[in-house]
Amino acid sequence: MQVGILADSHDQLERTQRAIGLLQASGAQALIHCGDLATPEIVKACSVLPFYFVFGNHDADSVPYLLQAAEESGATCLKWGGIVELAGKRIGVAHGHLTSDLKRVLSATPDYLLTGHSHFSVDSLEDGVRRINPGALYRASIFTVALLDVVTGQLQFLTVPR
């Protein structure tokens, strides 16, 4: 099962829509956003597929609006971090700005830990957990998202046109 991973949209709606189009064309069957969406419009845009997201530090002032958008769009909000189970795999998601959130998600022993926040793409293995940051859609030299086959672990970073 192919999952599209996005992070750090920072209200860049058109670029986020281009990223979603790219992920859909590449076979994504669900989308996970690792935080800093910044506006409810991003929740709505991502809800063209089954959609899961966490809050980032730049979402703190928008929490009620993001929750309302999730309810209206049928999206799943994991608040400040949580686990999504897809195709038998446990996918931990947290924005990554707070160690306490990361520790809480890691304590649930996920197969993957997806984060954002740094605006750099990452694919690493730490303490037996595959850590993936798709990169950002704002304030980065190249804008990237990631496509993960959660069963095989195959990962691709996709460049989003500026």
Cβ of residue 26: shortest distance to Zn ion, in angstroms?
23
Tokens 């022993």 correspond to what residue?
Answer: 109
Cβ of residue 149: shortest distance to Zn ion, in angstroms?
26
Cβ of residue 56: shortest distance to Zn ion, in angstroms?
6
Cβ of residue 91: shortest distance to Zn ion, in angstroms?
20
Find residue 114's DSSP bridge partners: 93, 132
Residue with Cβ nearer Zn ion (86 or 94): 94
Query: Which of 67, 68, 19 is CA-nearest to residue 46?
Result: 19
Residue with Cβ nearer Zn ion (36 or 111): 36
Residue with Cβ nearer Zn ion (24 or 57): 57
Query: Which of 97, 46, 54, 95 is CA-nearest to residue 72?
Result: 46
Residue with Cβ nearer Zn ion (8 or 111): 8
CA dist., res. 152 & res. 144, Å (int): 21
CA dist., res. 88 & res. 85, Å (int): 6
Residue with Cβ nearer Zn ion (8 or 101): 8
Spell out where the chain has E strands: 2-6, 30-33, 51-53, 76-77, 82-86, 89-93, 112-114, 121-126, 129-134, 143-149, 155-160
Q: Which residues bind Zn ion (CB under 5 A)?
A: 8, 36
Cβ of residue 57: shortest distance to Zn ion, in angstroms?
7
